[in-house]
Structure 1
């Protein structure tokens, strides 16, 4: 089970070595995730609020880790 520690800007998943931040306001969305143990970072910046950046991040993560 993941141990989640949340702040206003950042979510840390200590069990899996993930550091995550996501959000947006009118007109844009972003997601940043760092897989610390694997030394991989995904940064997604998007200026269309209708794009599902979470799903794109999930798909990229699956491709990277061949899940």
Structure 2
């Protein structure tokens, strides 16, 4: 939070947006950095040193951990 000067609410909204794959509805020019959707979007190969992830799954885990009790 401190490194990027984000509020608790902003982080909650971002995780919620990602876990629901709202980005697919928004039709972005580029999907998020390190998201497997970006690799598929540009027919790229996965970076073996810094592999892309299904970020929505990570967002779902984080949302559950910090925002659902």
Fold similarity call, TM over 0.5: no
Q: Which has the higher strand share?
A: 1
TM-score by length of 1: 0.32
Q: Which has the higher helix share?
A: 2
Q: Tell me which structure has the larger Cα radius of gyration.
A: 2
TM-score by length of 2: 0.31
